[in-house]
């Protein structure tokens, strides 16, 4: 073994030992009240139903959906890939380890904003980063994606794009092109009277 | 690309492919200049006449882990911004076995086969073609393997947390193992008959 490799090996060990000596205690810090107040006033903690849907469809690996509803409701329906966490177990060791996963955007949701807002404040106080709320909860997500409203005749092209995205998303989640309450059978079509054009008079010759 | 620069919003996602091209070029250059386009050199690890593969990958692992930990200590890298690939234990074990067999039989791993193909080596081109065939067959028969593919999900598991030690202490042991391997490999290489290639 050459001398230079021995020196490099010693240098590596010293550097690695330095890490052990310098290691800092990574305690979960608590956010100070002023920063918490600023974070509460900031609306960027909300993700819209469209934003979340887009990331679900794209299979975004950084997205972590956290369903805060009761287990029986979670079993009946939930957003794909969601984890069910009960609000009372939010401070348990396992949940905190899950929420402290690096590189993940944790999106909290319940049926509405209420439970998610409480959980968000609690999580933010515990300095959990990249914590978001699904705006309006699952109810708004359902009304936006699965049961969207009518499009106005004067809708802009951006609105029409959004509607076509929602239609595609609805097909993605339900496998259906139309909402369940919009049945074709209920519609009655007016009979169209076809007015046939009278045959043209035969020409008397010429070209 | 998922890294602290892009995920923190400093650089737009539109730069992903540009970064990928330059990182790929750098990686390919490093592989070729280390002699990784030669399957005989790579296969030397299994026969004991050339340990360059193990040395290069161990060096990469310890430099990256020590670098990240020092940058984190200095406050230059936020660990929470790093993306950790989730662990799927069953598919990792099965994939590892298949990869190991392919590696020892073909003398290339996917990256080095591309490197060899790029410099015009026929064995590299054949390996590269076989790899694509394998990818195609796997994709087409994915529903058969789907359950196994997703089984043993462990989330973003870190090896140090599995051992219950800090990342710094784990890196220290990794460095000790790497240094031990460097000296051990040199000793074995002296004992084994040299192969010209």
Q: How far is B15 from chain A (nearest CA, A)?
A: 18
How many C-beta neighbours within 10 Å does residue B127 have? Answer: 24
pLDDT at B135: 93
3-state DSSP call for residue B33? helix
pLDDT in tens, B121-132: 999 999 999 999
Chain B touched by A41 (CB under 8 Å): no
Contact A12 B83 (CB under 8 A): no
Residue A98 C-alpha from the chain's centroid: 18
Domain count, chain A: 1
Residue B145 C-alpha from the chain's centroid: 24
3-state DSSP call for residue B154? strand
With a cut of 60, say whether residue A202 has pLDDT above it.
no
Q: Please, which pLDDT band fits residue A98 given cuts at 50, 70 and 90?
A: confident
pLDDT in tens, B61-83: 999 999 988 888 887 777 767 77
Asked if residue A80 is part of any domain, the answer here is yes
Chain B touched by A94 (CB under 8 Å): no
Contacts with A80 from chain B: Cβ below 8 Å: none
B39, with CB counted inside 10 A (0-12, 13-18, 19+), is buried
Question: Cβ distance B116 to B127 under 8 Å?
Answer: yes
Q: Residues B30-37: what's their mean pLDDT?
A: 86
With a cut of 80, say whether residue B165 has pLDDT above it.
yes
Chain A touched by B193 (CB under 8 Å): no
Q: How far is B74 from chain A (nearest CA, A)?
A: 11
DSSP state of A146: I
Asked if residue A88 is part of any domain, the answer here is yes
d(CA A73, CA A146): 18
- Give the CATH number for residue A106: 3.40.250.10
Q: Who among B80, B166, B186 is closest to A103 (CB)?
A: B80
pLDDT at A24: 64
Report the residue of chain A nearest B65, measured CA to CA: A16
Q: What is the DSSP string of A56-84?
A: HHTT-TTEEEEE-S-HHHHHH---TT-EE
How many C-beta neighbours within 10 Å does residue B114 have? Answer: 20
How many C-beta neighbours within 10 Å does residue A157 have? Answer: 7
pTM value is 0.54
Contact B62 A16 (CB under 8 A): yes
Contact B155 A13 (CB under 8 A): no
Asked if residue A46 is part of any domain, the answer here is yes
Q: How far is A109 from chain B (nearest CA, A)?
A: 21
d(CA A124, CA A118): 10
3-state DSSP call for residue A131? strand
With a cut of 50, say whether residue A206 has pLDDT above it.
no
With a cut of 80, say whether residue B27 has pLDDT above it.
yes
Report the residue of chain A nearest B181, measured CA to CA: A9
Q: Who among B73, B80, B175 is closest to A12 (CB)?
A: B175
**CA distances for B16 relative to A21, A60, B24, B64, angstroms:** 37, 15, 12, 21
Asked if residue A175 is part of any domain, the answer here is no
pLDDT in tens, B98-112: 999 988 888 888 888
Contacts with A129 from chain B: Cβ below 8 Å: 80
Could you tell me the residue range of the domain that residue A125 belongs to? 33-144
- The torsion of the CA quartet A145, B8, A94, A78, rounded to 10 degrees, works out to 10
Question: Cβ distance A104 to A83 under 8 Å?
Answer: no
Contact B155 A101 (CB under 8 A): yes
Share of chain B above pLDDT 70, in %: 93
Q: Who among A16, A61, A100 is closest to B171 (CB)?
A: A16
Q: Residues B38-45: what's their mean pLDDT?
A: 87
User: Which alpha helices (DSSP H) does chain B contain, by range?
Assistant: 4-7, 16-33, 39-47, 52-73, 89-106, 110-118, 122-140, 142-150, 159-163, 167-191
pLDDT at A23: 63
Domain-wise residue ranges, chain B: 4-191
Report the phi/psi class of residue A127: left, alpha or beta, with left for phi > 0 and alpha for psi in -120 to 50.
left
Share of chain B above pLDDT 90, in %: 32
């Amino acid at each position: 073994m050459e001398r230079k490799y021995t020196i490099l090996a010693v240098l590596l060990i010293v550097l690695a030992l330095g890490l052990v000596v310098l290691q800092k205690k990574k305690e979960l810090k608590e956010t100070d009240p002023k920063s918490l107040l600023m974070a509460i006033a900031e609306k960027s903690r909300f993700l819209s139903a469209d934003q979340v849907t887009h990331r679900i469809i794209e299979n975004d690996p950084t997205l972590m959906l956290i369903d805060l509803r009761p287990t029986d409701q979670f079993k009946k329906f939930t957003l794909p890939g969601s984890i069910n966490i009960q609000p009372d177990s939010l401070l348990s060791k396992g949940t905190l380890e899950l929420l402290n996963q690096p590189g993940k955007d944790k999106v909290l949701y319940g049926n509405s904003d209420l439970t998610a807002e409480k959980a968000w404040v609690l999580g933010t106080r515990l300095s959990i980063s990249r914590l978001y709320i699904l705006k309006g909860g699952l109810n708004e997500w359902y009304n936006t994606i699965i049961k969207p409203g009518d499009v106005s005749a004067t809708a802009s092209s951006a609105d029409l794009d959004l509607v076509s995205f929602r239609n595609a998303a609805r097909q993605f989640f339900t496998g259906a092109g139309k909402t369940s309450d919009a049945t074709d059978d209920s519609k009655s079509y007016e009979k169209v009277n076809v007015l046939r054009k009278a045959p043209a008079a035969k020409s008397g010759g010429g070209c | 690309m998922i890294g602290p620069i892009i995920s923190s919003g400093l650089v737009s996602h539109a730069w992903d492919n540009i970064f990928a091209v330059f990182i790929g070029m750098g990686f390919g250059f490093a592989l070729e200049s280390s002699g990784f386009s030669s399957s005989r050199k790579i296969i030397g690890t299994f026969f004991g006449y050339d340990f360059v593969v193990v040395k290069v990958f161990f060096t990469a692992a310890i430099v990256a882990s020590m670098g990240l930990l020092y940058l984190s200590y200095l406050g230059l890298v936020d660990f929470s911004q790093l993306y950790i690939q989730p662990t799927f234990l069953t598919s990792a074990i099965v994939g590892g076995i298949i990869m190991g067999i392919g590696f020892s039989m073909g003398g290339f791993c996917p990256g080095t086969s591309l490197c060899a193909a790029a410099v015009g080596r026929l064995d590299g081109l054949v390996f590269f073609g076989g790899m694509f065939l394998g990818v195609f067959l796997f994709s087409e028969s994915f529903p058969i393997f789907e359950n196994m593919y997703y089984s043993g999900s462990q989330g973003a598991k870190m090896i140090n947390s599995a051992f219950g030690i800090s990342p710094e202490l784990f890196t220290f042991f990794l460095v000790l193992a790497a240094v031990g391997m460097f000296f051990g490999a040199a000793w074995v290489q002296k004992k084994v008959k040299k192969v010209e290639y």
